[in-house]
């Protein structure tokens, strides 16, 4: 057993990893506690339920992804449309590496949670919707920057951003189903078509 003081963090990290790999419903509280080295009594001190921990795991996934992957992809060191291209390329490299290392294509933790639970779990639906809005705002910023430079002409940047985000989520559905990271490379190339940009 690790220190009690970081038990909550360990539960969240363990749940985030297990649930991303196998889904929320396939992972039990007992397994999470055993893997994290935390006693079940402590679990219920920190979390009301497994769903409560699942929501915390989504927060952690997004906080990590946002501060690393997303900030890097959408960094303003390159032209706005190149940031969108870089996002799709980075996603390809990320999942290609996971695939080659044998961890497989787990896909998007937020899309996974949405399809598994959003229809019948209010908290997960709200949580994932917030993440989706925040994610789409990265695309929207790049689209607005591109329009300001005259690179593209877009009627509704918010809708175009949502379209790109939907396309990305769908690409991951196909790549995960086929267990093939090349889907992300191949289809990612067409993403800017959604903006009439090419």
Contact 124, 51 (CB under 8 A): yes
Cβ neighbours of 90 (radius 10 Å) = 15
Nearer to a second copy, 77 or 101 (CB): 101
Using CB under 8 A as the binding rule, whether residue 167 contacts a second copy is answered as: yes
Identify the residue among 35, 39, 89, 106 touching a second copy (CB under 8 A).
Answer: 106
Least Å from the CB of residue 134 to a second copy? 13
Contact status, residue 171 vs residue 184, Cβ threshold 8 Å: yes
Q: Is residue 75 involved in binding a second copy (CB under 8 A)? A: no
Residue 178 touching a second copy (CB under 8 A): yes
Which CB atom, from 110 or from 138, has the smaller least distance to a second copy?
Answer: 110
Which residues from 4-33 bind a second copy, rule CB under 8 A? 21-23, 25-26
Three-state DSSP class for 48? coil
Q: In this structure, are residues 113 and 124 in contact, taking their beta carbons and an 8 Å threshold?
A: yes
Comparison of 79 and 174: residue with beta carbon closer to a second copy: 174
Per-residue DSSP letter, 68:
I
Kindly tell me which of 47 and 110 has the beta carbon lying closer to a second copy: 110
Place of tokens 């921990």: 53
Minimum distance from residue 108 beta carbon to a second copy (Å) = 8
Among 65, 79, 115, 147, binds a second copy (CB under 8 A): 115
Phi-psi region of 150 (alpha: psi -120 to 50; beta: other; left: phi over 0): left
Q: What is the DSSP string of 92-104?
A: HHHHHHHHHTTS-
Give the tokens for residue 180: 């093939």
Question: Which residues contact a second copy by CB under 8 A?
Answer: 21-23, 25-26, 104-107, 110-112, 114-120, 125, 128-129, 132, 159-160, 162-163, 165-171, 173-174, 176-179, 183, 186-187, 190, 193-196, 198
């Amino acid at each position: 057993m690790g220190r009690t003081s970081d038990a909550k963090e360990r539960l969240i990290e363990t749940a985030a990893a297990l649930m991303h790999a196998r889904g929320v419903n396939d992972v039990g509280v007992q397994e999470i506690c055993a893997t994290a080295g935390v006693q079940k009594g402590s679990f219920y001190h920190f979390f009301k339920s497994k769903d409560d921990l699942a929501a915390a795991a989504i927060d952690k996934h997004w906080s990590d992804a946002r501060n690393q992957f997303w900030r890097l992809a959408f960094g303003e060191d390159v032209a706005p449309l190149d940031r969108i291209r870089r996002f799709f390329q980075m996603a390809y490299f990320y999942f290609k590496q996971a695939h080659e290392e044998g961890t497989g294509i787990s896909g998007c933790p937020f899309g996974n949670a949405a399809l598994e639970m959003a229809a019948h779990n209010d908290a997960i639906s709200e949580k994932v919707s917030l993440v989706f809005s925040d994610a789409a705002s990265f695309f929207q910023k790049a689209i607005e920057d591109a329009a300001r430079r005259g690179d593209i002409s877009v009627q509704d940047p918010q809708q175009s951003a949502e379209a790109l985000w939907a396309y990305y989520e769908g690409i991951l559905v196909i790549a995960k189903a086929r267990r093939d990271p090349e889907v992300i490379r191949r289809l990612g190339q067409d993403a800017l078509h959604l903006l009439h940009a090419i």
